[in-house]
Structure 1
Amino acid sequence: MPTNEQRRAAAKRKLERQMVYRQERAKKRRILAVVSTVVVVALVGAGVWFLATHDFADGDASASETPKSEPPKVDIPTEIKPLAKRPTPLAEKVACEYRKDDSTPPAKQVNAPNGADIPATGTVNVTLKTNQGDVPITLDRALAPCAANSFASLVEQGYFNGSPCHRLSTKGLQMLQCGDPSGTGSGSPGYKFDNEVWPELTYGRGYLAMANAGPDKTDPKKGTNGSQFFIVYGSAELSPDYTVFGSIGEAGLKIIDDIARAGDDGSMDPSPGGGKPNNEVKIESATIVK
């Protein structure tokens, strides 16, 4: 039979076992609580992410992406303006002065055309083969014999082949500008010549005109036409400072209209206006149609 001392020792051991058991249970409860909290936080976070990224409207996650902005609508007139006529016809042949342009190196090496006895009657048909389609144009010698003669010479020398149309304007002045192989807007063929304009000259849809840099700095009475030209497909409230030397018919304008509707990148706003066409335009080749 156990003594009192033995009974007390046994009771003490039992109490110690109970305390250890209780401590282990408490530790397990704490671990379980921490794990449960982590799981709950993770589930809540996953739920927030799901709600934030999922589009419940149609069940398509891609629908929650920001839609791409559409280019602004371009209002293009459909009526082609009758080609301008000189108030006083020129002589059958004229002299043209093609002066060396030292302002910048030539965008592509070519020879200046002959300026003696240039015809001031008749037309020249040219096809601009672009990556967007063929654009037939007609050069009118009676309007601007020097510009028409220069353009035809550049075509024959392959100057425009592989060159971009670097500027599109859709607001106010509606035109596509081409003729600079460098694509910078400052390229020239290495020569320049004077304007062929008159005070009553106005512009409109279907006109082919020369771009210029204003009066010649060396002589304000002289012009700065080179190789750059623009095709007017819509409105063009311009002062009579730009030589009109030909026209574009319905087939070519349809292609230009599609280019215009795609808009521009706005890289040239506010001055001179517009920017590079969103649909890249490149003149792959230019040829005279015999």
Structure 2
Amino acid sequence: MASSRDRQRKLARAKLDRQMARRAAALRRRRRIQAGVGSVLILALVVAGSAWALGAFDSEPVEDTATNEVCLWTPQNTEGNSNLKDVGEPPTTGLPVTGVRPMSITTNQGSPISVELDLASAPCAAASIAHLASQSFYDNTKCHEITADGAVRCGDPSGTGMGGPAYSFYDENVPTAPEASASPEASPSPEASPSPDEPPTYPKGTVAMIANPPGANGSQFLIFFKDFTTAEPKFPIIGRVTEGLDVVEKIGALPTVDNGAGEKVKPEDDDVVIQSLTVGEPVLDPASTADPAPSGTPSPEASGAPEASASAG
């Protein structure tokens, strides 16, 4: 029979074994926790490194003021004015403000005219034209005027120069007036001739809005078929022709007759008809386009034509 001392030794040994087992189990748990934490940290470092490589931690660029701009569409009174056509209004926010947007104008005068609308400089004009095009607003309308400034005027379904949608919007990108060259003996005047070294205010191929009154733009636009320089710019530039400028020049060469208002600007015999006008999706990659807005690059043959007032529209 075992002595009491032997029993105490066995109990103490068993107690020690239990303590060692608990310590071993606790150690295993601690190691598993540490391994899990280490894996999480490694994963976090991998994710953070990938995000850093992709530029997630780069400082935010200065936000373009146009991204905060809300386009304001001012309702027009359509009562008793059959020249205005109500097709709703474009969105006011969430509009693209970088890159360009392609526009295609198919007329009865030849191949389509391709245009790039400048989203950075004229986002509201681009949004308006895109909205109107989606409503077939421009389809089967006439380019009713060939202006003395060297532009074809289009976009009025009424063909009167007074038509448009049931809203208007403000100017966005009117060029700055060029520096005037005045002789020492001549006193400066608003009509002083711009310096011959200055680029044309509206280079050939420029697309611009035209409104009556100025600043209340609707649907009417100009496509310049020759360089036009003026000391008092008033047409907001919205884009430029990229293909089909020869068609615009062909239209610009048509003979004109009196439009009934004492101005010889109406195309004679041949009606210039926009059969369809479409606007594509925005192209937001700046590298895919070059100079989306007319930059006024001077051309050796550009001549500063004297300003002729455009008729209201």
Report the 3-state secondary structure (helix = DSSP H, G, I; strand = E; otherwise coil) of the residue aligned with 1:147. helix
**1:124 aligns to what?**
101
1:254 paired residue among 226, 232, 246:
246
Q: Please give the per-residue CA displacement for 1:182-226, whole angstroms capped at 9, x wherever unaligned.
A: 1111101010011113562621211100011135xxxxxxx2100
Give the conservation status (yes or no) of the 8 Å contact 1:126–1:287. Answer: yes
2:165 paired residue among 186, 189, 201:
189
Question: What amino acid sits opposite 1:211 in the alignment?
Answer: I
| Residue pairs, 1:262-277, within 5 angstroms | 262-267=254-259, 271=263, 274-277=265-268
**1:99 aligns to what?**
74
Question: What amino acid sits opposite 2:239 in the alignment?
Answer: G
TM-score under structure 1 length normalisation: 0.60
Q: State the Cα distance separating 1:162 from its structure 2 match.
A: 0.7
1:135 paired residue among 81, 88, 113:
113
| Residue pairs, 1:19-30, within 5 angstroms | none
Q: Please give the per-residue CA displacement for 1:67-110, whole angstroms capped at 9, x wherever unaligned.
A: xxxxxxxxxxxxxxxxxxxxxx6433521000101263454331
Separation in 2 of the partners of 1:141 and 1:277?
A: 35
Separation in 1 of the partners of 2:260 and 2:251?
A: 17
Give the conservation status (yes or no) of the 8 Å contact 1:129–1:284. Answer: yes
Separation in 2 of the partners of 1:114 and 1:105?
A: 24
Question: What amino acid sits opposite 1:126 in the alignment?
Answer: M
**2:145 aligns to what?**
167
Question: What amino acid sits opposite 1:180 in the alignment?
Answer: D
Change (3 A) 1:268 1:199: same
**1:60 aligns to what?**
none
**1:82 aligns to what?**
none
Q: Which runs of 4+ in 1 moved over 6 A?
A: none
Separation in 1 of the partners of 2:73 and 2:66?
A: 19
Question: What amino acid sits opposite 1:156 in the alignment?
Answer: S
Aligned residues: 192
Separation in 2 of the partners of 1:289 and 1:188?
A: 22
Q: Please give the per-residue CA displacement for 1:21-68, whole angstroms capped at 9, x wherever unaligned.
A: xxxxxxxxxxxxxxxxxxxxxxxxxxxxxxxxxxxxxxxxxxxxxxxx
TM-score under structure 2 length normalisation: 0.56
**1:283 aligns to what?**
274
Q: Please give the per-residue CA displacement for 1:136-174, whole angstroms capped at 9, x wherever unaligned.
A: 1111111111111101111111100111000012x4x00
Q: Please give the per-residue CA displacement for 1:242-281, whole angstroms capped at 9, x wherever unaligned.
A: 11111112x321001112222211336765x622354321
**1:76 aligns to what?**
none
Report the 3-state secondary structure (helix = DSSP H, G, I; strand = E; otherwise coil) of the residue aligned with 2:258. coil
1:155 paired residue among 117, 133, 140:
133
Change (3 A) 1:167 1:131: same
Q: State the Cα distance separating 1:128 from its structure 2 match.
A: 0.9
Report the 3-state secondary structure (helix = DSSP H, G, I; strand = E; otherwise coil) of the residue aligned with 1:146. helix
Report the 3-state secondary structure (helix = DSSP H, G, I; strand = E; otherwise coil) of the residue aligned with 1:151. helix
Give the conservation status (yes or no) of the 8 Å contact 1:126–1:139. Answer: yes
Q: Please give the per-residue CA displacement for 1:113-144, whole angstroms capped at 9, x wherever unaligned.
A: 11123222121111111111211111111111
Question: What amino acid sits opposite 2:152 in the alignment?
Answer: L
Separation in 1 of the partners of 2:68 and 2:104?
A: 25
Moved more, 137-146 or 192-201: 192-201
Give the conservation status (yes or no) of the 8 Å contact 1:129–1:285. Answer: yes
**What percent identity do the matched residue pairs reach?**
32
Matched, 1:207 2:184: no
Give the conservation status (yes or no) of the 8 Å contact 1:94–1:118. Answer: no
Unaligned runs of 5+ in 1: 1-88, 216-222
Change (3 A) 1:94 1:204: same
Unaligned runs of 5+ in 2: 1-63, 178-200, 282-313
